[in-house]
Amino acid sequence: MYPTTLTQIARANPFSAPLFTLQKVEEPLQSHKGQRSRRLAAAATVDEEVSCEFGSSKYYALCGFGGILSCGLTHTAVVPLDLVKCRLQVNPDKYKSIGNGFAVTVREDGVRGLAKGWAPTFIGYSMQGLCKFGFYEVFKILYSDLLGEENTYLWRTSLYLAASASAEFFADIALAPMEAAKVRIQTQPGYANTLRECAPKMYAEEGLWAFYKGVAPLWMRQIPYTMMKFACFERTVEMLYKYVVPKPRSECSKPEQLVVTFVAGYIAGVFCAIVSHPADSVVSVLNKEKGSTAMQVLKRLGPKGVWKGLFARIIMIGTLTALQWFIYDSVKMEPSLLADPRV
């Protein structure tokens, strides 16, 4: 028989690599009178012909590239919705709703005005994705070594959540400068139309602080977002396979699994948007204004003001999270990535 706890954790955890299955392996014990040999749950690769070894430079490069694709492309694709969301947050008197926000923007700036801020969005979130997924692998190995093999197996979900939160801390430092420039371009008409105009102007007015004054609210927004992204996605995947999908996960084809991934990712994104929206409102207003602090902005917005633009952000973050999980899962299902044999 398999060890019950370890087997249940391995089967229930959505982060388990698709390249591994549990097999029964006989391990002879040392010669002790009256003792029998025991059976262990061991990880065995489905295909030993893999082109990338776990922990290698190529492995980290591919994970980082996957992060660039999943974050950079998806955030850039929803720039028009992000622009309207930011304007709803910083100027609710002018932009009454999502539809009104789009109409006013097109009337004043034309259709091209909806693409304002695309350059800092693409650069910033590509850097964030690179750091998020790259450092995630680094922290996963670090925490696994600290815990040891047995505890890594027992606490694998907690390990993944801790690793993702740690990675997000550094990813937000990489994101902060471009996020600040993006908000200035999108929410201050006439300030600057391009990144090349905006960055020098911000530096001349406030120095380097202009690019990093929003990093603390970013941490408040992104770290809970990342934790919810993993935790909610895990539970949703489990429920979909248990109550909705008519056959076990192991019998589903790759396209079928990716459909489940997309649906679970969208549901997780809704909760991500809710838990991180107040901090997102503070970031938007803080990066628009000069000389304000996060606490000053929070007090001025009040309990009601911090929820402005929530519906727009739910749509945006739900779509983003679903697409990011879809892209990331597509990469992880490819045989070119060899999962960590310890977890």
CA distance 26 to 241: 31
Top mean-pLDDT range of 54-68, 111-125, 228-242, 285-299: 111-125
The greatest distance separating any two alpha carbons of the chain, rounded to the nearest whole angstrom, comes to 87
The pLDDT of residue 283 is: 78
Provide CATH code, domain 50-212.
1.50.40.10
Tokens 């109409």 — which residue?
103
Per-residue pLDDT, averaged over 11-21, amounts to 42
Residue 26: which pLDDT band, with cuts at 50, 70 and 90?
Answer: very low
The pLDDT of residue 29 is: 46
The pLDDT of residue 285 is: 79
Tokens 């699994």 — which residue?
257
Chain centroid to CA 229: how far? 6
pLDDT exceeds cutoff 50 at 302: yes
Domain boundaries, the chain: 50-212, 224-334
Reference 131, options 170, 76, 104; nearest CA is 170
229 and 163 Cβ atoms separated by less than 8 Å: no
CA distance 295 to 76: 30
pTM for the structure as a whole: 0.70
Alpha-carbon separation of residue 211 from 88, 119, 135, 179, 206 (angstroms) = 22, 16, 22, 8, 9
Tokens 């603390």 — which residue?
216
Handedness of CA 270, 274, 279, 282 (dihedral sign): positive
CA distance 43 to 22: 5
Residue 10: which pLDDT band, with cuts at 50, 70 and 90?
Answer: very low
Mean pLDDT of the chain: 79
Per-residue pLDDT, averaged over 253-263, amounts to 90
